Chains A and B, each alone.
Chain A
Amino acid sequence: MAGRGDRALVAGPEAVNEPRAEWRAVRVGLAVATVVVAAQLIVGGGYALVHDDPTAHDRAFACLTREKSLAVETGIRDPIAESAAAGALRTRVEGNGVTASFSASEGAAERLRELYESVAELPEGALERRGRVVLVWEGSASPTQRQTMYDCVG
């Protein structure tokens, strides 16, 4: 059984509902949360001001080499990939070679995909466009091979 003293410590909802104390606590809480969120945005804004955004190509290159530990080539002997406005790279995922071509727009990427389709006979599932990136695999890509590239090209 709770005694008199216990009731003072195990407070009931009446005590918690006291409007002025609640308003004070919420004011402080919201101020703290706003400062935290604002600080994060200011850090992000400051960084964006003094750093150029890496290109999709640079981001994918860094991701594939650093995070996936893959060997990546950028000098590619593939005239279609070489014509991609935002660059291209080539790597090998779980034994399957893949070329990623980066375009300036989704429309340009789609035209690149159609060009591949018209000049090369590719295995089922070896050609795909993902946003502004076109992926061309040597053989049909498995889900895990695809996922590795998705992780890095976005």
Chain B
Amino acid sequence: MLGRRTYAAIIGGELALWVGLLAWDVAGFDWLRGYDAYANWLYAETVVDDHRLPSTAESGVWHSPPLWFLLAGLLGRAGATVGIAPQLAGQLLALAAGLALLVLVLLLARAIWAERHVLHVVSLGFAAVSPVLIRASVMYHPETLAAALAAAGVLIAVRTLRSGPTLLAGACSGLALGLGVLTRTWVLPVAVAVVVILAVGRGRSRAWAPAALCLVALITVTAPWFVNQQLAHGSALAFNRPAPAGSIVTRRPASFWLGPRALEMFDTPHAPHARNQLAPQLFADWWGDYWLVWGDETGDAMEPSRVRQSWIGLLPTILGLGGIVALALLAVARRDAALALLPATVLALGGAFVLFQLRYPFPDGDTIKATYLLIALPALALGAAFAADVLCRRSRAVGIALGAAAAVLVASEIEFLLL
């Protein structure tokens, strides 16, 4: 356990460093290089100017829920009055949501392991230097807001499971998750996992009410959106490209699952290498920049950094995945519903992601993006921090080795992340 002042200084330093890094990156990042940037901007303009959702012809991201676009559009209008470009206002919204996500990671760690300061510091550090969060936080894109709202819903659920379910907490959790779904549909599987865990983890008393209220709040907030999609586009989960005909089982070749070109991610970790190979493409995009939106546009100067990122990503990937498995085992052994929320959200999101990949198997691999899984970042950060903390407690030598590795990793990460 760290001293109170040391603990506060490290946490404050981590957050301040992140904000400084991101402020620099936002200034140097061309907003048009972000995913679907122009389509996102058209969506925000339509919502704010015409007070309606865009048609399929007006924005390529018409299938996305409207909350972030409404906020970005309104902020853009407000920013224009003081000379801030509307796109920059949207980027700052994404950055603020990224910062909120980091704070929520810290609060989650404190809610589950109140006294384990090292675990708090490591979980915050893991999330802060994850390239997938940094890239999403400088784009004109809704991903970070969705992840922050999902994390808020999970945090409320964790707290209520720890202290005893209350109606207010159930409703607030449902509200946060519902707003998350209104930002990105990827929050939906996480919301379902939270409702299920709240229901089964209520204890022996008949405390169904908080879970039921969570579900009611979720449905109330999201129903208008899904009903609109069903009526306007024929499916509540409509997407901007049609799914091919035939069984979804045969839509992906074996190479999608096996990733035979995985080693290319340690040589040329970007498109078009290993395209449409699930694990290699996700890994390169999470720890580096598979779609070449970061750094110089020709991609030459950043290549050594991208390759280094792939090597750097191995240890935290093993810690993160291993930590999630460990938390799942402990949650089952202890029948600890609050702890089970973390692996449950990863499992639900991962399952939804794989189903989406099977339903929409596009040859350009465009739907395999690590940012779609940003919502899993809090659980992975906590899993990695938990594993690292247990290893450090087990052996002082391992603790020193992990600390040294972390210092090297963070230094290298910052070199890649600073534009």
Contacts and interface: CB of A to CB of B under 8 A. Distances in A.
Interface of A: 1-3, 5-13, 15-17, 19, 21-26, 28-34, 36-37, 40-41, 43-48, 51, 53, 59-60, 63, 66-68, 106, 128-131, 143, 150-154
Nearest to B303: A131
Contacts of B292: 150, 154
B318 to A, nearest CB: 5
Task: Give me the 4 closest cross-chain CB pairs, A-B, nearest first.
Answer: A44-B262, A6-B203, A29-B326, A29-B325
Given A6-B203, A16-B330, A131-B298, A29 B162 contact: no
16 contacts: A8-B335, A10-B164, A10-B201, A10-B338, A16-B112, A25-B333, A26-B326, A28-B326, A29-B324, A30-B322, A33-B321, A37-B314, A41-B262, A44-B264, A131-B303, A152-B272
Contacts of A8: 335
B185 to A, nearest CB: 25
B149 interface: no
Interface of B: 32, 112-116, 161-162, 164, 201, 203-205, 258-264, 268, 270-273, 275, 279-280, 292, 298-300, 303, 314, 317-327, 329-330, 333-339, 363-365, 383, 386-387, 390-391, 393-394
Nearest to B274: A44
Contact of B275 (A1, A7, A63): A63
Given A15-B336, A30-B318, A59 B164 contact: no
A96 B314 CA distance: 42
B330 A106 contact: no
B314 to A, nearest CB: 7
Most chain B Cβ neighbours within 10 Å, of A8, A21, A22, A150? A22
Contact of A130 (B260, B271, B298, B323): B298
B263 A44 contact: yes
B317 A6 contact: no
Contacts of B258: 43
A2 B164 contact: yes
A28 B329 contact: yes
A88 B383 CA distance: 48
A33 B322 contact: yes
Nearest to B300: A131
Nearest to B201: A10
A30 B387 contact: yes
A87 to B, nearest CB: 16
A46 B259 CA distance: 11
Given A32-B322, A33-B318, A154-B270, A16 B260 contact: no
A31 B162 CA distance: 29
Contact of A6 (B164, B260, B299, B318): B164
Given A23-B390, A106-B300, A151-B364, 4 more contacts: A16-B339, A28-B325, A33-B322, A44-B280
B166 to A, nearest CB: 11
Most chain B Cβ neighbours within 10 Å, of A32, A33, A66? A33
Given A5-B204, A10-B161, A143-B32, A66 B363 contact: yes
A26 B392 CA distance: 12
Contacts of A129: 298
A26 B323 contact: yes
A140 B236 CA distance: 41
A8 B335 CA distance: 8
Contact of A2 (B205, B318, B322, B335): B205
B113 A131 contact: no
B113 A16 contact: yes
Nearest to A132: B300
Contacts of B280: 40, 44
A150 B17 CA distance: 33
A43 B204 contact: no
Contacts of B260: 43-44, 46-47, 51
A27 to B, nearest CB: 8
A16 B337 CA distance: 11
Given A43-B262, A68-B364, A26 B391 contact: yes
Nearest to B320: A33
A48 to B, nearest CB: 5
A48 B261 CA distance: 7
Nearest to A128: B298
A74 B326 CA distance: 54
Nearest to A148: B364
Contacts of A150: 271, 292
